[in-house]
Structure 1
């Protein structure tokens, strides 16, 4: 709720009270026998309407008592009833029907007695009281309708909130079931396949060493990569199966494993260098993961698409952001930019989720560049 929403009802009540006080003050001034005490009673009875929403019983008591004093002394006519009618309406709307009925009866009774100067005026007094009775009944009916309408609106809001909560629970339940299904599929397919790759590569390394042969670097890279893949896959499966962490991300490698990542890339024949500039600092976990994944995907793309190219990895710890850049001198042509694949799409999504900027395009001098600027925020 905004500031204006909180104060608007009070301002409306204050405006009503001010208008009522001004109107009745003019009427009382024009009435014979009116004095300062009558004017004070009119002002108090009218200004009490400011509290008709927050304290309806107080407003009802003050307005009724003050306006009864005015009616008894100066008899200004039906306008003296206006503050009492408003307070009766507010009291009934708040659920205080008995108090409103009692105040109405007292006011009408006193008004009837005060306006009975003699037998000749009794008929007119009864007619005036009957008119006022109709006004009080109308105020009570309007207050009852308002109360029922407010109760209906609150019930409708509650039903809408309950329906929304039910939809959210159903969506979360379906998401949890889907997460479990994905976890089962990953476990039954990828875990088995990666385990076989790791075991077979390990056996090949063991046999080569037993025969006294040099182990091919590519084979060692397969062993290391399959081990990392198994580790991260297990972490991902744990998160997928933990339905209480629907917004969590699997604990993944960060820039602390950058050297291992680059070394594995070199073992495949890729010439790669790493340059780190700026003052090292502890990075937010999501920035650390994103930086590692961007370098990983960029080096993978260089190995797959750039042929016999060299890659340069640059990490710059700036004041407000972390800059990750991977350049290669491969065969990318500025006039024929590659079609973005799943890897580039994933990079863009990671960077966009952190509010950063990503540039992935061929370089004018040849080759390809990937540059990500990741804001560090206050947590850096």
Structure 2
């Protein structure tokens, strides 16, 4: 946009300056030229000035300007004024006309100048036709040279535009190829995940279900661990299917971060699964619930899920508290457990994944041991951050 504005502003003063310069050159050439059949008077100067100043609008109206300049040239030379001053505006007008793609008009004007000029000059001056022809032939030669130069420039510019279009097309083709390869890679990953994980998780679920069935059949107490395995495997199969669909259909991972199965609307189910795994969980909600953007909703769910998983694995006999605080500009998630005092953890895949999700949305994440024992994970996710807006766009 800035370049276009500069070009327009440059054009605004360049054309009037060129027109004024052409008029000055034409008048100056007439004043310094040898005397003609007619002395330079006011009508002659007017013809020179009109032909030059008409160039102000040569870009918007190239053909009318060319006709006016050609008419001024014919009138000036046929009347016998000194010099060939009006030729300069005609050359410029011819160049502009041909450069704008009006080659036929330019050729017709050149032919008309040749015929009318020779005939009119021969009649008005009474000179020999050979002398008149030589004079006008030189003028026509300049005009042809101007037209050829304009055509060469136009063809070169068209060639550059064609090269630029080809480069853009090649870039677009490269991008399409990259997207196609990305889709193919997603499909390959989806197949690998399906082959390596679905079968194993299905076996775990079936075995847990058989164990629960046999225990109930023999009137034996069902282990809480078996029930937790059964529920966890069911949830794992559901989330795996959801992930595979994302990989197959190929949306952006951030825009696909939340779906009907993974969002804070299922927070109670997530907490119940942790309780069945032996981790008592208390859920607290602060502020009025909001309709969260899908990326924020999905990221919040994953943070709570990973934090509870880590607490169940590392906190030992402990309790966990999940606090969700809704605000107008941000969502705050805090997960605390009261396990034993521990050293600062070495960031693993879980914490790294949480940090990457939060950073992608322009938020902040703090995770570390509590001074009195236990562990805290706290994340703040902006609701109107540029990253969230860009993801939704």
Place the TM-score, normalised by the shorter chain, in its bin: 0.7 to 0.9
Counterparts of 1:121 and 1:23 in 2: how far apart (Å)? 34
Secondary structure of 2:222's counterpart equals coil
Partner of 2:310: 301
Q: List gaps (5 residues or longer) in structure 1.
A: none
Cα displacement (A) at 1:351 = 1.7
Secondary structure of 1:145's counterpart equals helix
Distance 1:277 1:104, change over 3 A: same
Distance 1:198 1:268, change over 3 A: same
Counterparts of 2:376 and 2:63 in 1: how far apart (Å)? 74
Partner of 1:185: 192
Normalised to the residue count of structure 1, the TM-score between the two structures is 0.83
Matches within 5 A, 1:6-85: 6-26=4-24, 28=27, 32-35=40-43, 38=47, 41-42=50-51, 44-51=53-60, 55-65=61-71, 68-69=74-75, 75=81, 77-85=83-91
1:214 maps to which of 221, 225, 248? 221
Matches within 5 A, 1:237-256: 237-242=244-249, 245=251, 249=256, 251=259, 252-256=261-265
Counterparts of 1:8 and 1:74 in 2: how far apart (Å)? 44
1:321 maps to which of 321, 330, 333? 330
CA contact (8 A) 1:311 1:329 kept: yes
1:311 maps to which of 320, 323, 344? 320
Matches within 5 A, 1:1-380: 2=1, 4-26=2-24, 28=27, 32-35=40-43, 38=47, 41-42=50-51, 44-51=53-60, 55-65=61-71, 68-69=74-75, 75=81, 77-108=83-114, 113=120, 117=125, 119=127, 129-242=136-249, 245=251, 249=256, 251=259, 252-331=261-340, 337-377=344-384
CA contact (8 A) 2:59 2:96 kept: no
Counterparts of 1:270 and 1:63 in 2: how far apart (Å)? 94
CA contact (8 A) 1:45 1:67 kept: no
CA contact (8 A) 2:23 2:49 kept: no
Counterparts of 2:308 and 2:50 in 1: how far apart (Å)? 86
Secondary structure of 1:215's counterpart equals coil
Divergent runs of 4+, >6 A: none
CA contact (8 A) 2:362 2:381 kept: yes
Counterparts of 2:66 and 2:15 in 1: how far apart (Å)? 13
Counterparts of 2:156 and 2:292 in 1: how far apart (Å)? 55
Counterparts of 2:339 and 2:77 in 1: how far apart (Å)? 99
Please say which of residues 88-97 and 58-67 is displaced more in the overlay. Answer: 58-67
Counterparts of 1:9 and 1:63 in 2: how far apart (Å)? 26
Cα displacement (A) at 1:319 = 0.5
- Paired residues, number: 370
Cα displacement (A) at 1:9 = 4.6
Secondary structure of 2:58's counterpart equals helix
Distance 1:309 1:75, change over 3 A: farther
Please say which of residues 70-79 and 220-229 is displaced more in the overlay. Answer: 70-79
Secondary structure of 1:142's counterpart equals helix
CA contact (8 A) 2:74 2:117 kept: yes
Deviations 1:224-282 (A, max 9, x none): 11111111212222333336x57663734100111111121122222332221111111
Deviations 1:139-189 (A, max 9, x none): 222212212212222221232223223322322332222222222222222
Normalised to the residue count of structure 2, the TM-score between the two structures is 0.81
CA RMSD of aligned residues (A): 3.3
Distance 1:352 1:16, change over 3 A: same
Please say which of residues 26-35 and 93-102 is displaced more in the overlay. Answer: 26-35
Counterparts of 1:16 and 1:189 in 2: how far apart (Å)? 71
Q: List gaps (5 residues or longer) in structure 2.
A: 32-39
Cα displacement (A) at 1:350 = 1.6
Secondary structure of 2:86's counterpart equals helix
